[in-house]
Structure 1
Amino acid sequence: MHVTRCYSVAAQFQGCRDKMVEMPQLVKDLCHILYFKHLTRLCLVATECVSSLAVDSILQMQLLQAGCLWHLLLFMFSYDFTLEEGGVQRSEDANQQEVANRLAKLAVRACGRLGGYLTGDLESPNNPVAQDALNSLLTPYLARQLSLDKPEEILKILNSNCETPYLLWDNSTRAELSEYLEQQRHDKLFGETDPTYGTDFVYSIHSKELIVGGIFVRIYNEQPAYPIENAKGFTIDLLEFLASQSELLSGMSSVTLSTADNKQLQNIVMCLEALRNVIKNNAGVEMQCIGHFRLLFALLSAESCKDVQRGALEVIATVTRNHECVNDIAASDILVHLVVVLYTLPDHQVTILDILYALMSTTKIVKEALAKGALIYLLDLFCNSSAPAVREKTAELLARMGADKLVGPKVRLALGRFLPAAFADAMRDSPQICVHMFEGTHENPELIWDNDARERVSSAITHLREEHYTAQRQNPQMIWRPPDDNVLAKCGAPGELVVGGVYLRLFVANPGWVLRRPKEFLSELLDTCLNLMSKDKPDVDLLELATSALVSLLQAQPALADQVPSLGHIPRLCRQMVSCKQHSDVPKAAILVLHQLATSEVCIQAMGHTECINPLKKSMQARKDMIGVACETLNRLFSANQDQLIKQALEADMVPYLLGLLEGRLETLENPATTKAQIVKALKAMSRSLLLGDKVTAILEKSSVWAEYKDQRHDLFISNSSRAGYLTAGTPATAGYLTQGTTKTLPDAPPPMDREDPMVRTDII
């Protein structure tokens, strides 16, 4: 015992250690002492000597070759942690177990120095051979604990049962290790030993477990909240394992799988579950998935194993909360796998829709989704799914796609080929209400929808989806294109003229309807009217309907007229009035539109910068039945005191033309007196111009007809009769003179001042 202690002290000096290296029998004799395990105190001193000699790398290998590791590990099983935790007073002289506990602690430290785990005063060279042996015999987790120099914790674990993601340890593992160590001790006496030093040792219970990155995957999935020491490293290990198994999935078919294949599939499913758990419980580790999304999305196509698809789906759902991951998915061009799985995993459609919703925050993915046919899949779910939650999620997703700044307009345009525009707005405002709208029956200016229309549209969408799904299964990279024919026009409400999502026939019948997008409707309605006017042979019925709708809109919402100049339609309207190709109905429609625009001062100012008086004069000459409306329009224009308009009138010889009308009988008009009154008021308004009034007055003074009318008050001739005759279908009742009944007899007293034409500016008389 004392000699052994001398060698322990001598090992502190380099010269002594060099001499000991030349004495191989020394290490053999030292290890031979460890066989006398019943001499606990002697073994304790010998273990201290082993720890001291392990400071030299050559002596480390000699100790391993001499079999000291088998003895040290066996000493650890003599530890009794209940004695340590009992709280009773104890001493080595009176308690043999106390000596055994101390020996076990020294054995732990000696193993730490043999492998080079410890630092500080106990530091020793790293020994990969010893570390590999300890990883196999003690498990990687316990081997790592050697570096903490807390032998009590290691010994307590070794002598109790434990089941954590890092360690599966029970009576069977202790028995296996003890049996192996005893066998090695015995063999060493006869000169035999394990040349691998135990690196090939495998516990039978561990051989049945999937271990990735030193973690028991099954146990981790049972304890997902267990703290992982290196969560990022574990994530990478899981991804690498999945990549190594990808060949199995790619070669898998619907044929019966072998037992080994089924085991591999189970391992893949467990890895996917572990990957989801580690990402969910460790913020930031999802970044490790960047660069691996092709692998994860490819797993969605493993249709022969639904569990693999489900596991991959759950992992993808977890990573989409990270914007960097979403960007990497967008750059990988792999969305088609997720779109197709909508129909291969019908029980998980809500999860898939949630994933798609998160991904649609990126324009590139919205563009890819549209190209790969996500729209037709989503429409089919919205129209035909039996699950209300799926339909509402689908509506919400379609609304988000349509809200994208760059691709959104294309999405809304494609959506408009299948569903009325009212549904697109309802999807944005309230997906739940949108579903109820789809199932209901409606007939209003913005929606004509009944059971027949719903069934026709739903059937057409299902047919298109099935065609695309079949083709996409054969070629995942194929591009989806909306059908050339408008499905809604054929199946929704055929025969109806729809402009800007508004059914014109119903709008004319109910112009007071509160429109969803009145400005857009105004712009598209103006375009429609002008396009119809520009045709060589315009559709008269459509032109009259569109014109009636436009006039009704401006009457119901007068403030909208102020938006027209900024849209650039007034010059186009004036050009149509003088077009040589014009149909006889074009001047009529143009006069009616101009008549309504003349109620807006903003429009009148814009007309001052556009040649409109001469076109209006030519339209009056072409359609003499519209002279009454045109004269009222002129009265409104000139009463606004715009010198530019009066200048146009002088250049177009409008004053002589109006005087000629004043002289004529106007028998073709319904109310000649009213028309003449409007002419007189228009001429008087022109004469009040400070800049050009003298020229107008000079022309008027030369006319004998003007002398008869200039001093008369003509308000009495302007009746409050309806102007329904201006439009073929009649205009809806609105406020003002258009709503009042026809006056049968003239009043005896002059009319009150408030009966003046509201468009006349009396402040400049």
Structure 2
Amino acid sequence: NVYLRVYNNQPDYEISDQEGFCIALLKFIAELVQKWNSLSLDENMMHQCGTAIETSVTENGDISGSTNEGKEEDSLEKHNRGVTDGDSEVIMNLRSGLTSLQNLLTSNPGLAAVFASKERLTPLFECLALPVPPESNIPQICLSVLSLLTKHAPCLEAMVAERTSLILLFQILHCNRSCRDGALTVLYSLASTPELAWAAAKHGGVVYILELMLPLEEEIPMQQRAAAASLLGKLVGQPMHGPRVAITLARFLPDGLVSAIRDGPGEAVVSCLEQTTETPELVWTPAMAASLSAQLSTMATDLYQEQMKGRVVDWDVPEQASGQHVMKDEPQVGGIYVRLFLKDPKFPLRNPKRFLEGLLDQYVSSVAATHYEANAVDPELPLLLSAALVSLLRVHPALADHVGYLGYVPKLVSAMAYEGRRDTMASGQTTSRLQAEPSNQENSADSTVQTPQERVRLSCLRVLHQLASSTTCAEAMAATSAGTPQVVPLLMKAIGWQGGSILALETLKRVVGAGNRARDALVAQGLKVGLVEVLLGILDWRAGGRQGLCNQMKWNESEASIGRVLAVEVLHAFATEGAHCAKVREILNSSDVWSAYKDQKHDLFLPSNAQSSAAGVAGLIESSSSRLTYALTAPPPQPALVRLPSTAPALPSAPANPSGRHSYQHS
């Protein structure tokens, strides 16, 4: 026998049979809970009976209203006084029992093993649901006891075994302000279990936590909001059902905030919720926060009322919360707003690889969609996605290897080849239209308006041009199978495309680089289609002079100079030691044009950082020509852009000493 009041005043006193005392305490608490429930049931029955008598007397009209009211007040006073006396005794004993249990577990944590079953924990969770006066502090003491028990693994497993107990802990966040700290502590201890993660996602726990993080009117301490955010972060990280929690969160919050919750800490998440943010990963405003707070408040109230009916509600989250409607029409890939990314490509992304994979998937899909649903698909979407792809690969060059591993290179080559074939048909239609409207031919001749097919195929070329810097992707371009287009003939054809010649030439230079183990296959493709002869034809000053070349290739002065430089470098790359170098050298040595160009230094005609820039020559000159956009809707700014002079010196039209070496000095 232990006097609880004395023991609570001397909690350090050593009990002789602590385990027996613990079991007796648990039995004592269970009896008090049962007694309280009986008192509450009697009170409800008496209240219902009194209401029925009042209704009957009023209908019969035998007693006056004033007399009836007086008798009712006397009866209620007696009833309330009697129940209050009984309640006070039960509450006092229950509080003493829970306090003794708390002291006992604090002094001897090993006694938690007594509660390693669902039946032993039931009285404690029933205490949480008792409608006791707030000043009794019974729920707070009970939560402290549960917090002590969570340190014992078998007790933790027993707690999560009963789903209604977990839902009760979530409900406390909504309905009991004074117990939130204790409930958050217990929930955080249980957050690593799949059962709690499932309850959060499937039974509305996420709503109760978010309501705490985004209060509508109530002033919630920063510490509680941060603890709620930390709890969500731990639930999202739960291996089994954490992804389901993340999906549920994504219905309410932008991906950037979900990532912030996952990364933590809670204080940083709360700070993000209170700020106005516009980055590629997150767009968040006070108006969005207020809208979401109102929705969460209503949703939590409705859910709580349904759960109070005594059944487990399988809660289903709405498709999209109202807080995200501001950016619903903005293209978003992998949690990144594409247009905002193009404004700041160097923004430090949390997961650039995920963004890359999303861009590749959507880009290939959008290009394919234009083949069959030209009127239903935004023609600017492939261009926007390709611009983002190129910008991402420039800032993160190592990601290009990942593209090769994912197998997207053959898909991009096929898409470019298909768009090239479509453009042939589109060009025929354009020619027919111009013939039907001769009055517009002169104006059209001067214009360089590209067809949608031309812009899409150039976007494919731009992506391949950027990927060609990766040895892995360059080798993937050489791997062909039956029915798939070969990349070198396609690039040779692209040399004649409006706005694509420089891109195609530099892509050829990159793919046949010395580091490519499959370069022999690419050289063989070039020999088969006569690429060497085509490049020599571009260099031949006797084929009509510089002006004729510019008209044929649609080059301006600086582009013509750079194009010839790249053609020379491609031929040098083809002649590098390899399986087919003898045949290439034979063709070159028999050419007078090559004799004139092979020993010249052509660096003067390239931007000073063309060799080291991730964008290459094509990227460095893209802003120097307002006529050609290279299919980019929003080209990113180049921090170290070197513009070509408006009148760049050209290569000599006919060398005075074909076998000699011209010496150009950099100024």
Does the CA contact (< 8 Å) of 2:36 and 2:87 recur in 1? Answer: no
What secondary structure, in the 3-state scheme, does the structure 2 residue paired with 1:321 have? coil
Which amino acid in 1 is paired with 2:153? Answer: H
- Give 1:298's match in structure 2, choosing from 106, 112, 126: 126
Provide the TM-score with structure 1 as the length reference. 0.63
Which of these residues, 531, 538, 546, is aligned with residue 365 of structure 2?
Answer: 531
Task: Quote the residue 2:393 is aligned against.
Answer: 554
1:392 aligned to 197, 203, 226, which one? 226
8 Å contact 2:292–2:322 — kept in the other structure?
yes
Match of 1:237 among 17, 24, 42: 24
Corresponding residue number in structure 2 for 1:351: 182
Distance 1:530 1:229 in 2: 75
SS of 1:691's equivalent? coil
1:614 paired residue number: 486
Aligned residues of 2:413 and 2:487 also touching (Cα < 8 A): yes
- Measured in 1, the distance between the counterparts of 2:563 and 2:237 equals 51
Aligned to 1:480: 315
Structure-2 residue corresponding to 1:598 = 468
2:509 alignment partner in structure 1? 635
Determine which of 402, 406, 417 is the counterpart of 1:563: 402
Match of 2:621 among 722, 728, 734: 722
Q: Which residue in the other structure is 2:156 paired with?
A: 326
Compared CA separation, residues 320 and 505, structure 1 to 2 (3 A): same
Corresponding position of 2:530: 656
Q: Secondary structure at the match of 2:161?
A: helix
Residue 517 in 1 paired to residue 345 in 2? no
Show the 5 A alignment for 1:19-418. Answer: 214-250=1-37, 252=40, 255=44, 257=83, 259-291=85-117, 292-303=120-131, 306=134, 307=136, 308-333=138-163, 334-384=165-215, 386-418=220-252
Residue-by-residue CA offset, 1:181-211 (whole Å, 9 max, x unaligned): xxxxxxxxxxxxxxxxxxxxxxxxxxxxxxx
Determine if the alignment matches structure 1 residue 625 to structure 2 residue 625: no
> CA–CA distance in 2 between the matches of 1:599 and 1:274?
72
- Distance in 2, matches of 1:317 and 1:658, equals 78
Residue 263 of structure 1 and its aligned partner are, at CA, apart by 2.8
In structure 2, how many angstroms separate the alpha carbons of the residues matched to 1:227 and 1:485?
A: 58
**CA 1:265/1:643 → structure 2, altered by over 3 Å: closer, same or farther?**
closer
CA distance in 2, matches of 1:718, 1:483: 57
Give the gaps of 5 or more residues in structure 1. Answer: 1-213, 756-765
Deviation at 1:561, TM superposition (A): 2.6
**Residues 627 and 745 from structure 1, CA distance in 2 versus in 1: closer, same or farther, beyond 3 angstroms?**
closer
1:353 Cα deviation from its structure 2 partner: 0.8
Query: Residues 574 and 500 (structure 1 numbering): CA distance in 2 closer, same or farther, change over 3 Å?
Result: same
Cα 1:633/1:250, change in 2 over 3 Å: farther
- The offset of 1:388, in angstroms, is 0.6
Residue in structure 1 matched with residue 563 of structure 2 by the alignment: 675
1:256-294 deviation per Cα after TM superposition (whole angstroms, max 9, x unaligned) = 546435533433333222222211222211111122223
Shift of 1:658: 6.5
Q: Distance in 1 between matches of 2:323 and 2:150?
A: 35
Give the residue type in structure 2 aligned to 1:343.
Answer: H
Structure 2 SS opposite 1:454: helix
**In the aligned structure 2, how far is the partner of 1:641 from the partner of 1:286?**
66
CA distance in 1 between partners of 2:248 and 2:501 (Å): 45
* Residues in 1 aligned to 2:530 and 2:365: alpha-carbon distance in whole angstroms: 33
Q: Equivalent residue for 1:128?
A: none
Aligned residues: 538
The alpha carbon displacement at 1:707 in A equals 7.5
Measure, in 1, the Cα distance between the counterparts of 2:592 and 2:122: 91
Q: 1:746 to 1:626 in 2, by over 3 A?
A: closer
Q: For 1:327 and 1:751, how far apart are their aligned partners in 2? A: 80
Q: Are 1:655 and 1:683, in contact at CA under 8 Å, matched by a contact in 2?
A: no
Q: Distance in 2 between matches of 1:589 and 1:747?
A: 30
Secondary structure of 2:278's partner? Answer: strand
d(CA) in 2 for partners of 1:503, 1:434: 20
Tell whether the 8 Å contact from 1:330 to 1:364 is kept in structure 2 after alignment: yes
- Structure 2 vs 1, CA of residues 484 and 422 (structure 1 numbering), >3 Å: closer, same or farther? closer
- Output the CA distance in 2 between the equivalents of 1:249 and 1:543: 68
Paired residues of 1:659 and 1:705 also in contact (CA < 8 A): no
The secondary structure found in structure 2 opposite 1:293 is helix
Larger radius of gyration: 1
Gaps of 5+ in 2: 45-79, 423-451, 539-548, 608-616, 624-628, 651-661
- Percent same amino acid among aligned pairs? 28
Q: Distance in 1 between matches of 2:527 and 2:457?
A: 19
Q: How far did 1:420 drift?
A: 3.0
Which of the residues 292, 297, 316 maps onto 1:457?
Answer: 292
Q: Give the partner amino acid of 2:350.
A: R
- 1:303-344 CA distance string (max 9 Å, x none): 355544334322212211222211221223331111111122
Q: CA deviation at 1:578?
A: 4.0
Change (3 A) 1:299 1:750: farther
Q: State the alpha-carbon separation in 2 of the partners of residues 465 and 540 from structure 1.
A: 43
**Where does residue 329 of structure 2 map in the other structure?**
495
SS in 1 for 2:283: strand
State the alpha-carbon separation in 2 of the partners of residues 604 and 539 from structure 1: 31
Q: Which amino acid is the alignment partner of residue 486 of structure 2?
A: N
1:147-167 CA-to-partner distances (Å, cap 9, x unmatched) read xxxxxxxxxxxxxxxxxxxxx
Shift of residue 649, structure 1, vs aligned partner: 5.2
Contact 2:491–2:508 (Cα < 8 Å) also in 1: no
Per mean C-alpha deviation after superposition, the further-off stretch among 365-374 and 348-357 is: 365-374
Is this contact kept in 1: 2:22–2:111, CA < 8 A?
A: yes
Contact 1:526 1:550 in 2 (8 A): yes
The whole-number CA distance in structure 1 between the counterparts of 2:160 and 2:305 is 24
Secondary structure of 2:398 counterpart: helix
Amino acid of the structure 2 residue aligned with 1:667: M
Partner of 1:731: 635
Shift in Å, 1:624: 4.4
Contact 2:212/2:225 (CA < 8 Å) preserved in 1? yes
Contact 2:160 2:196 in 1 (8 A): yes
Structure 1 Cα separation of the partners of residues 260 and 381 of structure 2:
29
Q: Deviations over 1:599-630 (max 9, x none)?
A: 22343244444669725644775854323212
**SS at 2:461's partner residue?**
helix
Measured in 2, the distance between the counterparts of 1:235 and 1:641 equals 75
* 1:554-608 alpha-carbon deviations (Å, 9 max, x no partner): 2123233343333443343334334589872442222111111122234324444
The residue identity in structure 1 corresponding to 2:151 is: R
Per-residue Cα deviation, 1:209-238 (whole angstroms, up to 9, x for no partner): xxxxx2222332333222221121111112
Summarize the Cα distance change of 1:641–1:700 in structure 2 as closer, same or farther, 3 Å threshold.
Answer: farther
Is 2:416 the partner of 1:577? yes
CA contact (8 A) 1:442 1:449 kept: yes
Match of 1:435 in 2: 270
Provide closer, same or farther for how the CA distance between residues 463 and 633 of structure 1 changes in structure 2, counting only shifts above 3 A. farther
Task: Give the RMSD, CA atoms, in angstroms.
Answer: 3.4
- Deviation at residue 381 of structure 1 after TM alignment: 0.9
